[in-house]
């Protein structure tokens, strides 16, 4: 799947929030930085909802960067940049499955996840969207019009984690 090849600029005036960032298409050289962002976000932001053992199983710190890059290249993947720092990333496939959506632990609550999600959903050109949302992310997706289809336990590195299969119809953009 190919993303639009445009940069989207957001300012505090346009979004009504205290952010100045751009969202651009993912490139392979982003992979290491977003793998670190992923690890730090999971271990800090999700710590309120998951045990230390679960966090270590979810984000081990040993991501296969080649596999991750291939996955991002196969999807529509974008990164959000503020002050020359990657502050968030996400990817969606052609069926509308939103695979990953993470925002830097120090940039939470600034509208970055919403901006990334808006871009991904618009780029996907799908009738329906779905995701497997963490306990932490569930309220965010509910505010975006996603509904829980099923609460589930998934095994990650031998440890069970709770997440939610959530879906949304296109008309709820």
Note the pLDDT of residue 16.
53
- Those residues with Cβ within 8 angstroms of residue 103's Cβ, 6 or more apart along the chain or in another chain: 41, 45, 80, 87, 88, 112, 113, 116
Note the pLDDT of residue 169.
87
- Name the stretches of the chain with pLDDT < 50: 1-2, 5-7, 11-15, 173
Cβ contact 76:91 at 8 Å: yes
The fold of the 8-126 domain, in CATH, is Aminopeptidase (3.40.630)
Residue 14 is encoded by which pair of tokens? Answer: 């346009």
Q: What span, in angstroms and rounded, lies between the C-alpha atoms of 11 and 112?
A: 11
Note the pLDDT of residue 17.
52
Note the pLDDT of residue 74.
95
Note the pLDDT of residue 4.
55
- For the stretch 120-140, pLDDT in tens is 999 988 889 999 999 999 999
Note the pLDDT of residue 131.
98
DSSP 105: G
Note the pLDDT of residue 87.
97
Note the pLDDT of residue 18.
52
Domain ranges of the chain: 8-126
Residue of 64, 104, 97 whose CA lies nearest to 80: 104
Note the pLDDT of residue 125.
81
Q: Is 63 helix (H, G, I), strand (E, B) or coil?
A: coil
Note the pLDDT of residue 3.
53
Note the pLDDT of residue 20.
81
């Amino acid at each position: 799947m190919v993303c639009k090849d445009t940069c989207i600029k957001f300012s505090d005036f346009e979004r009504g929030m205290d952010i100045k960032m751009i969202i651009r298409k993912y490139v392979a050289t982003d992979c290491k930085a977003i793998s670190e962002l992923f690890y730090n976000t999971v271990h800090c932001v999700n710590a309120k909802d998951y045990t230390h053992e679960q966090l270590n199983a979810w984000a081990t710190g040993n991501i296969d960067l080649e596999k991750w890059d291939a996955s991002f290249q196969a999807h529509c993947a974008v990164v959000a940049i503020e002050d020359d720092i990657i502050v968030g990333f996400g990817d969606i496939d052609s069926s509308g499955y939103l695979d990953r959506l993470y925002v830097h632990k120090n940039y939470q609550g600034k509208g970055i996840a919403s901006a990334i999600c808006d871009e991904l959903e618009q780029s996907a050109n799908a009738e329906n969207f779905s995701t497997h949302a963490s306990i932490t992310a569930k309220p965010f997706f509910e505010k975006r019009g996603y509904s829980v289809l099923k609460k589930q336990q998934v095994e990650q590195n031998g440890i069970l984690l709770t997440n939610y299969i959530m879906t949304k119809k296109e008309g709820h953009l």
